[in-house]
């Protein structure tokens, strides 16, 4: 029997746990899987393994998974994960893994124990810059090892540029492509170009998926000078009528009350990423709620809900205090 403490070294993770890299090349599907983390990768792999028939336990340190996303949407995703049969362990840390004849014993900071065939660590990554020997030429790194760049992706050494996750700006593949395109225009096209990080859509491919663009309700309230209007719609997809699955779709629009500009949109439900890609174009163009309302919906479709939400669900002041719809 071998025991390894979580807090030891990275070598320990390689011995008794895996990352998302190894999870994609396992020789066989684990029947009992433990996922540690509350971000994209953790939620997605928990959904994948559960969908393939494994027993899945998801551990995360916060009260809800997907920190940084809209709190209302986080709660919906959590409920959906539970509805799919994933065992959730909020506010829980793993303190020890023990290799046994029956599998890997997982011990939590609450004193609970369970046996797993695979333990996936999905608690974040650091920029992979150590092997580049950048210090030798004087390229500045931050405390995480990320390459420091200016708004054009140039480092402090004029001839060296960096794009993508190694700069630790917004770690998404399409964003890295945008940064690379801007770099190419700047250096080779004679057209100085800065990456634009406003209104970048993203998705968490849980089952069903979550997709967002713009500001969350919490971010909008924090940044607002005046009131924020929240429009929501929730319904049971038609296909669930036959299957009987209790998994409601929820949509949300966040609107600046003073300008009527839609500053955020989110959806959790089937085809959310496909729908949100189109909504992202509207936000990029600075669409107002009046323009959403004047757009004719495609019926019957889920997406039409985004242009038929006419009643304010709540009005929130800049300090975060809700008002009634009549005020």
In this structure, the strands spanning 113-116 and 103-108 are: antiparallel
C-alpha 239/C-alpha 273 separation (Å) is 18
C-alpha 233/C-alpha 240 separation (Å) is 17
Length of the chain: 327
Measuring CA to CA, how many Å separate 29 from each of 118, 133, 207, 211?
9, 38, 19, 28
φ, ψ dihedrals at 277, nearest 5°:
-60, -40
Strand partners, 214: 264
Query: Coil, helix or strand for 45?
Result: helix
Spell 287-318 as b/e; 16+ CB within 10 A means b: bebeebeeeeeeeeebbbbbbebeebbebbee
- Check residue 214 and give left, alpha or beta (phi > 0: left; psi -120 to 50: alpha): left
Residues in contact with 170: Cβ distance below 8 Å, sequence separation at least 6, in sequence order: 197, 200
Strand partners, 233: 251
In eight-state DSSP terms, residue 179 is: H
Strand partners, 263: none
CB distance 252 to 231 below 8 Å: yes
What are the DSSP calls for 233-252, one per residue? EEE--HHHHHH-----EEEE
Q: Annotated catalytic sites, by residue?
A: 299
CB distance 264 to 219 below 8 Å: yes
CB distance 124 to 142 below 8 Å: no
C-alpha 272/C-alpha 275 separation (Å) is 5
């Amino acid at each position: 029997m071998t025991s390894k403490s979580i807090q030891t070294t990275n070598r320990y993770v390689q011995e008794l746990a895996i990352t998302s890299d190894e999870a994609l090349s396992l020789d066989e599907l684990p029947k009992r899987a433990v996922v540690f983390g509350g971000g994209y990768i953790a939620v997605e792999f928990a959904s994948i393994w559960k969908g393939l028939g494994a027993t899945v336990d998801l551990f995360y340190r916060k009260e809800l998974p997907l920190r940084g996303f809209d709190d209302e949407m986080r709660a919906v995703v959590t409920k959906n994960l539970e509805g799919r049969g994933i065992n959730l362990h909020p506010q829980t840390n793993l303190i020890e893994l023990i290799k046994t004849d029956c599998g890997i014993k997982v011990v939590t900071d609450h004193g609970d124990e369970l046996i797993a065939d695979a333990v996936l660590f999905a608690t974040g990554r650091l920029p992979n810059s150590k092997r580049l020997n950048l210090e030798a030429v004087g390229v500045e790194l931050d405390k995480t090892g990320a390459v420091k760049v200016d708004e054009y992706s140039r480092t402090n050494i004029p001839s060296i540029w960096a794009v993508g996750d190694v700069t630790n700006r917004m770690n998404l593949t399409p964003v890295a492509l945008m940064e690379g395109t801007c770099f190419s225009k700047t250096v080779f096209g004679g057209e100085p170009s800065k990456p634009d990080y406003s209104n970048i859509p993203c998705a968490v491919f849980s089952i069903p998926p979550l997709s967002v663009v713009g500001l969350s309700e919490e971010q909008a309230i924090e940044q607002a000078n005046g009131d924020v209007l929240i429009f929501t719609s929730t319904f049971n997809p038609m296909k669930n009528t036959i299957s009987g699955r209790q998994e409601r779709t929820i949509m949300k629009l966040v609107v600046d009350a003073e300008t009527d500009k839609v500053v955020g949109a989110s959806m959790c439900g089937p085809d959310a990423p496909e729908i949100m890609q189109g909504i992202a174009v509207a936000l990029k163009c600075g669409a107002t709620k009046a323009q959403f309302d004047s757009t004719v919906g495609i019926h019957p479709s889920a997406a039409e809900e985004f242009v038929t939400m006419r009643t304010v669900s709540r009005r929130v002041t800049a300090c975060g205090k809700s008002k009634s719809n009549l005020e």
